[in-house]
């Protein structure tokens, strides 16, 4: 978990139209839920935004932020990632995890041998993949984040027990 206990819930993808509306990528389970967590802040917490969802476009929501009235102002925010305090997010069932909680966890195999550390959580459509890096690995390894390959996630101990497919490591 990050030091300040904030979770990235979305990112601004640029302007939508010419009147200050924004394209907004939501990283919440139900994309529209991002509005429930407002105000959203920038990564460095220097700016905070309330928002009103206005619709949908290809792979994004459309939204209005107070004070953003022109295409130029909207475009200036392109790429800004939006965060909320962790305590504003709902608790998850035992078998679900926020990506931010998995990043940085040590990964060991079922015999206790260190395999590496979670660098990122990726999703290319089918299922989540844990990107593992560490000493002894020539490159990062992508471990399927399934119950079979990752039988145990122990957040309190800061580690994951993995049973990777043969030959992955």
pLDDT of 29 = 81
Place of tokens 């009235």: 69
Q: What is the mean pLDDT of each run of 10 residues along the chain (169 residues)?
A: 71 95 92 94 94 94 96 96 90 85 94 94 85 90 93 93 90
**CA dihedral of 150, 154, 158, 159, whole degrees rounded to 10:** -30
71 three-class SS: helix
pTM beyond 0.85, yes or no: no
pLDDT of 158 = 93
> How far apart are alpha carbons 153 and 111 in whole angstroms?
15
Q: Which domains does the chain have, with CATH numbers?
A: 6-88 (2.40.30.60), 99-162 (2.30.30.240)
31 three-class SS: helix
Give the residue among 89, 90, 68, 85 at the shortest CA–CA distance from 24: 68
List pLDDT tens digits, range 70-88: 999 999 999 999 999 988 8
């Amino acid at each position: 978990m990050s030091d300040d206990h904030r979770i990235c819930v979305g990112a601004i993808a640029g302007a939508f139209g010419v009147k200050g509306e924004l394209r907004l990528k939501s990283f919440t389970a139900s994309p529209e839920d991002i509005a429930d967590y407002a105000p959203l802040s920038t990564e460095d917490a220097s700016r905070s935004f309330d928002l009103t969802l206005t619709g949908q476009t290809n792979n994004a929501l459309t939204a209005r932020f107070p004070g953003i009235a022109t295409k130029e102002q909207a475009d200036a925010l392109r790429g800004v990632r939006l965060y909320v305090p962790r305590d504003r997010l709902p608790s998850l069932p035992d078998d679900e995890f926020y990506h931010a909680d998995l990043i940085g966890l040590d990964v060991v195999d079922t015999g206790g041998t260190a395999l590496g550390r979670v660098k990122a959580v990726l999703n290319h459509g089918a299922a989540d993949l844990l990107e593992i890096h560490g000493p002894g690995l020539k490159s990062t390894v992508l471990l399927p984040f399934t119950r079979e390959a990752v039988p145990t996630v122990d957040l309190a101990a800061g580690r994951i027990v993995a049973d990777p497919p043969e030959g992955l490591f």
